[in-house]
Amino acid sequence: MISFEIPEKITNEIQMAKMVAESVMRQYSRYYDEHEHERPSEYINMMWPVMREQHRRRTEKLQQNGNGSGPKREGPDFSILRLIMMIEMLSWGDAGQYLCTPDPALGGAALEAVGTKEQKIRILGKFGQGEPKWGAMAMTEPGAGSDTSNIRTTATLDAESNEWILNGEKIFCTNGGLALDESDGFVVVWATVDASAGRSGMKSFIVEAKTPGVTVTKKEHKLGIRVSDTVAIVFDNARIPYDNILGSAEVIKRDGSTKGFKGAMATFDASRPAVAASAMGICRAALEFTRDKLAAEGIVVDYTKPKHQMTAVERDLLEMEARHKSAWLLTLRSAVLMAHGQPNRLEASMCKARAGETVTWVTQKAVELLGPMGYTREWLTEKWMRDAKINDIYEGTKQINTLIVARSILGYSRRELK
């Protein structure tokens, strides 16, 4: 039965997120934009007790029974929808600060997707106690951006000590510094155990803070989301326990078997809608702000007026709204499919491609429509435009997600459509 009704419980929780967004995130938005690399402690301190309590309860459940997801429930599991809406609202507050949320983040997603119960208790359990912690995920390398199958970081098994030895360099790792240097966190690192095996040789490993041989070498200076920590990490004979591999260590060379890699792809099914949701939060912020400012000047869209009787600015506003709505509904759909236990890979790429593009366009339009005021740093519009663009890039650029959509609708393999 087609319905757009959001569960009331989620609506209420989102209202609470809105309070955080308004009373904390927006207040410090400009400050952290202009003080790059400072830690947004107001937001972090606000969120940590909540995150910690969530993880404490979850770990408790894990220890008591099975897989930590509790008894198998009847009907849809709306936790992904809740997450999507939460991210949207926090990013409406400030997308950069949202990225600094003290939690396992993308590292956690990888762990949840393929980790063992022991790994989850050991690593995620830390998030249920003590000081704020962060997780991160390091895939990208200087020579392997969109082409993730080209990673060169190696993991070699030292049979004697039963440890993996990591060597290589990762770049652009979000929260890598917070996870490794500034807290007792962890990074999920993708490496190859057998370069000749291509994608099936790719495995992911848990690397914990303070592991010798792991160095954060560079903090990037960025166009936007300046408060978010983006770092390069060098692995120089870094040794990690054998049990820190995620999924099976076995390499199957037969054509088509790319299990390790598929683990990475599975996390994208959830993380792409999450990035899309963050994009949509910024998009809504810019849309609402622009609409309010123009309304104060007496420029209001009359939805009953035919298009041909609208002014150019009214049409622009309507188009901003239409594009926002179209991308948001695609995002909701990818989450709702997941909630109902249905495959969503195609839909996840669709919403990510569209959300990144849409927020880029809408925020640029917002700056334009607000004229000289849009361009000043007094208002947040110009910051939103700078923040927005990252959503067109990470978790698969717009082109890469379009490629995935294209292959899917054409029934093509990677070979047929490069």
Partner 1 sequence: MINFELDQEQKMLTEAIGRLAKERMRKVFRDADEDGVLPPDVVKAGWEIGVLPTSIPEAYGGFGEYSVITGALAAEAFAWGDLAATLYIMTPNLVAVPLMLAGTEAQKEAHLPLFCEEALPKVTAALTEPVIQFDPRQLKTTAVLENDSYILNGTKCFVPLAEDAETFLIYANEADQTQAFFVPRGVEGLEIGQREKLMGVRALPTYQVKLNNVRVSAVNKLGGNEGIDFGRLLNHSRVALGALAVGMAKAAFEYARDYAKERVQFGEPIAHRQSIAFMLAEMAMDIDAARLMVWEAAWQLDQGKDATQATAVMKYYVDDMVMSVCDRALQTLGGYGYIREYPVELWLRNARAFATFDGMAMV
Note whether 172 binds ligand FAD by CB under 6 A.
yes
From the list ligand FAD, partner 1, none, pick the one residue 307 interacts with, judged by a Cβ distance below 5 to 8 Å according to partner type.
partner 1
3-class secondary structure, 77 = coil
348 binds, among partner 1, ligand FAD, none (CB under 5 to 8 A by kind): none
Per CB under 8 A, the list member of 57, 340, 377, 414 interacting with partner 1 is 340
Residue of 15, 65, 237, 399 that binds ligand FAD (CB under 6 A) = 399
**157, 257, 393, 408: which one binds ligand FAD (CB under 6 A):** 393
Q: Give the CB-side neighbour count of residue 202, counting CA atoms within 13 A.
A: 24
Which of 136, 174, 132 is CA-nearest to residue 47?
132
Q: Which residues neighbour 304 within 8 Å (Cβ) at sequence distance 6 or greater?
A: none
Residue type, 221: H
Among 86, 111, 114, 139, contact with ligand FAD (rule: CB under 6 A): 139
205 interacts with ligand FAD by CB under 6 A: no
Q: 248-307: which residues touch partner 1 (CB under 8 A)?
A: 303-307
The pattern of x and - marking residues 61 through 80 that bind partner 1 according to CB under 8 A reads ---------------x-x--
- For the bound state, the minimum distance from the C-beta of residue 210 to partner 1, rounded and expressed in Å, comes to 44
Query: What residues contact 231, with CB distance under 8 A and at least 6 apart?
Result: 173, 176, 177, 216, 217, 218, 219, 220
Say whether residue 174 binds ligand FAD (CB under 6 A): yes
Q: Cα–Cα distances in Å, from 142 out to 145, 246, 320?
A: 7, 23, 36
Nearest to 132 by CA among 213, 56, 48: 48
Residue 414 interacting with partner 1 (CB under 8 A):
no
- Burial label for 181, CB within 10 Å (0-12, 13-18, 19+), is middle
Q: Which stretch binds partner 1 (CB under 8 A): 5-13, 44-52, 184-192, 214-222?
A: 5-13
Nearest-angstrom CA–CA distance, 223 and 70: 42
Q: Does 241 bind partner 1 (CB under 8 A)?
A: no
Q: What ranges in 8-135 are assigned the alpha helix state H? A: 8-20, 26-34, 41-64, 79-99, 105-114, 117-119
Catalytic residue status for 395: yes
Distance of CA 25 to the CA centre of its chain: 18
Whole-number Cα distances in Å, 197 to 4, 40, 69, 257, 413: 46, 43, 34, 10, 19
By CB under 6 A, residue 189 contacts ligand FAD: no
> Among residues 131, 382, 395, 416, which one is catalytic?
395
Interacting residues toward ligand FAD by CB under 6 A: 106, 136-140, 145-146, 172-174, 222, 230, 390, 393-394, 397, 399-400, 403, 418
Binding interface with partner 1 (CB under 8 A): 1-7, 76, 78, 81, 303-309, 318-319, 321-323, 325-327, 329-330, 332-333, 336-337, 339-340, 347, 350, 353-354, 399, 402-403, 405-407, 409-410, 412, 416-418
Q: Which residues are catalytic?
A: 395
